[in-house]
Structure 1
């Protein structure tokens, strides 16, 4: 029992002797926030440049910039106070985010923004700058390679009498069947095609077939649920 009390006393004394607030200058705070904001704007540009989804979210992109600055501010705050850092960990542990992430690459940008905020708030400026440059180059390189062979969904509604002509036009393309729905004499055909350029003249050719009601061509990011 005495050993337990002595151990607790040692812990209490060691904590009380520690400086609760470490000195952090106003200049360091301003530099950290400005740098995290600047790198956040860099992330903003890379996200907009490399976005390949269907609907671009400007609000989400702004969130990346603010997230980097807020994370940097939190790291600078908890690094100055051991008691506050423990309280901040407990407070953040009860936060739950319910926003659904549709594109897995968005999670990468969120972690990138948070990592920049952590590195900048901790004063590791070279890590945040050099790391961001390498990550950006990797994302741009991989997204540019994907542009050479973009995937689309081709949705065709036609009657049974146009089936042979539609098949003939599709055989000219590289396609993969995704879904085929028959409602009485109307067929809904959904196929995945890959284009190396923006030549979409085949859409007019299919639309001109007698019996074809409508043709739609939409961008396809690889996730499809029939």
Structure 2
């Protein structure tokens, strides 16, 4: 290897390039496993499971690269914290289980980058079996008359109070409902209100949407099950 390359801090001389490549490939394999577990357990019920699935794979490899970049250098660790602190994530997470899979991808990537391959080898099967088992648990029933997680977008005419106009209808059919996004529509003449919640077992999708459409001021309704 050229002397100018090994004389700098670009590569830790104690870790051969072959080892770096193997760790990155292993982190890729573990990331694919995390993505597969996500898809099998509950990702298939999401509207766009490929988005988070791809993120989980790439995140595992990126975290492995970060771990190898830091190595045993405290200065690099603090520099990296400062560099990454400028990143802001404002995406609304509809399902808190998505956060658990992101953390899992970070862990396996970090373990791969540090060379602690036994940890994900032992941990992934345990987490995978647990996630799949919990996804099949009775509390996760879903359907037209099931308690499925949903995302509801209502277009409301400007000047209406959403709390007074919609609250009584939402509470009859949804549990744990919360407003997560507000946007203007029709050049400011209306508001698009996005709610997330859990459809109650006795609720009907068609009846729920019909009731919302009958509310004065409602201009449109979109309901998606996760």
Shorter-chain TM-score: which interval? Answer: 0.5 to 0.7
Q: Output the TM-score relative to the length of structure 1.
A: 0.58
- The alignment partner of 2:136 has SS state of helix
Aligned residues: 155
Q: 2:32 aligns with which of 15, 25, 41?
A: 41
Distance 1:103 1:27 in 2: 39
Q: What is the match of residue 184 of structure 1?
A: none
RMSD of aligned Cα (Å): 3.5
Distance 1:51 1:143 in 2: 6
Contact persistence 1:22–1:81 (CA under 8 A): no
Distance 1:107 1:152 in 2: 19
Distance 2:224 2:28 in 1: 32
Q: What is the match of residue 17 of structure 2?
A: 26
- The alignment partner of 1:108 has SS state of helix
Radius of gyration: which is bigger?
1
Q: Output the TM-score relative to the length of structure 2.
A: 0.58
Report the Cα offset of residue 193 of structure 1. 2.1
Contact persistence 1:43–1:113 (CA under 8 A): yes
- Give the gaps of 5 or more residues in structure 1: 1-19, 154-175, 180-190, 195-201, 207-217, 222-226
Cα offsets for 1:20-48 (capped at 9, x unmatched): 95521112111111111101111111111
Contact persistence 2:27–2:109 (CA under 8 A): yes
Q: 1:178 aligns with which of 170, 173, 176?
A: 173
